């Protein structure tokens, strides 16, 4: 690693797959395809949910927020990745690194909480259907989403503050595709154990606690579904939850394997592939999961497309 006089370098060199340059072109092509797909898919979900009056419900309000969040999620990292993969100069300024880390952390923390909120919405809809409109009214939904976004911002600030205080001793090479807190802690020249402990505590609060709430919600939902006598009713109840369960599995699976284990046990390339998965692939797949498995969304999308083509 290169050492320079200042504690914090003016810019970082993101090594990425420098030891395997043959991976860069395929990765560049994949990102060039998936990024527009993610943007178009999530933007379509937002437009359909807002334009169709039948989708003006709490579930689709939360889905709209998830789609907007996924658009911001991928935008916080993919353009920088494309630039670095397409040029020989694979650098990012120190300020740019902190900004990228802040927004990436904010979107990740917010999505953890938003997925938990969406599971609570499904719990109320299935287990407390009589009181659903009273509990999940418009004011309550806006308040809950505002708290989720604000908490995500606070979480990101806490991670960014830890990063700014890291004693890097002028180290300016990061073995990663983007600026992420575990990699920066690993690159620190001292105080790694204390910062690793701080990161673990914060990640447990922002990740494990919402995950436990999701599991508790779906345990109650499963118990309620098995009490439904008609098979059609059980199928309908399960259908409203299956898409969300798939999204939760795709998001939390890689995240847990990455953040809830000691940094010393993480392999060299694991952070890179995990960042690509939960930062690029998951936001790209989410719109298709909700569209393909949801009759209401497919119906609203069909109406929108019919209206567009009939207008033309």
User: How many structural domains does the chain have?
Assistant: 1
Query: Does some domain include residue 6?
Result: no
Whether 212 is covered by a domain: the verdict is yes
Query: Which DSSP symbol is given to 173?
Result: E
Tell me, yes or no, whether 5 lies in a domain: no
Asked, for residue 2, whether it belongs to a domain, the answer is no
Torsion sign (Cα): 181, 252, 264, 174? negative
pLDDT tens digits for 140-189?
999 999 999 999 998 888 877 777 777 677 677 887 888 887 777 777 77
> What dihedral do alpha carbons 147, 151, 154, 159 form, nearest 10°?
-160
Cα dist from 126 to 138, 238, 242, whole Å:
18, 9, 13
Residue 96 lies in a domain: yes
pTM of the predicted model, to two decimals?
Answer: 0.85
Q: Can you list the positions of beta strands (E) in 15-172?
A: 91-93
Residue-range definition of the domain harbouring residue 119:
11-311
H-helix or E-strand containing 174?
strand 173-174
Query: Which pLDDT band holds residue 223 (cuts at 50, 70, 90)?
Result: confident
- Strand 91-93 and strand 11-14: the pairing is antiparallel
Residue range 82-116, pLDDT digits in tens:
888 877 778 888 888 888 888 888 988 899 899 99
- Describe the strand order of the beta sheet including 11-14 as a list of residue ranges: 91-93, 11-14, 173-174
Question: In residues, how long is the chain?
Answer: 312
Domain contains 4 = no
CATH of the domain at 126: 1.20.1070.10
The pLDDT value recorded for residue 159 is: 78
For 37-80, the pLDDT digits (tens) are 999 989 988 988 888 777 788 888 999 999 999 999 899 888 88
């Amino acid at each position: 690693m290169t050492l320079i006089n200042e504690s914090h370098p003016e810019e970082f060199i993101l090594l990425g797959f420098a030891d395997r340059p043959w991976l860069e072109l395929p990765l560049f092509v994949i990102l060039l395809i998936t990024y527009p797909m993610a943007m178009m898919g999530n933007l379509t979900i937002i437009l359909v949910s807002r334009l169709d009056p039948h989708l003006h419900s709490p579930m689709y309000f939360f889905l709209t927020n998830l789609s907007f969040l996924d658009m911001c999620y991928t935008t916080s990292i993919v353009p920088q990745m494309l630039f670095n993969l397409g040029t020989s100069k694979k650098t990012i300024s120190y300020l740019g690194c902190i900004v990228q880390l802040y927004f990436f952390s904010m979107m990740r923390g917010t999505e953890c909480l938003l997925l938990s909120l969406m599971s609570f919405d499904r719990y109320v809809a299935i287990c407390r259907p009589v009181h659903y409109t009273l509990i999940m009214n418009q004011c309550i939904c806006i308040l809950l989403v505002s708290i989720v976004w604000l908490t995500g911002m606070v979480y990101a600030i806490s991670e960014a503050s830890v990063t700014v205080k890291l004693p890097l001793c002028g180290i300016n090479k990061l073995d990663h595709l983007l600026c992420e807190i575990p990699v920066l802690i690993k690159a620190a020249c001292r105080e790694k154990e204390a910062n690793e402990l701080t990161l673990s505590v914060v990640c447990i609060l922002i990740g494990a606690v919402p995950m436990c709430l999701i599991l508790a919600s779906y345990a109650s939902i499963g118990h309620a579904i098995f009490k439904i006598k008609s098979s059609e009713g059980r199928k309908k109840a399960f259908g409203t939850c299956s898409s969300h369960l798939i999204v939760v599995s795709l998001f939390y699976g890689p995240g847990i394997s990455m953040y809830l284990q000691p940094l010393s046990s993480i392999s060299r390339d694991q952070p890179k592939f995990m960042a690509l998965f939960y930062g690029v692939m998951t936001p790209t797949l989410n719109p298709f999961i909700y569209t393909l498995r949801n009759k209401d969304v497919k119906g609203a999308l069909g109406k929108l497309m019919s209206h567009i083509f009939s207008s033309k």
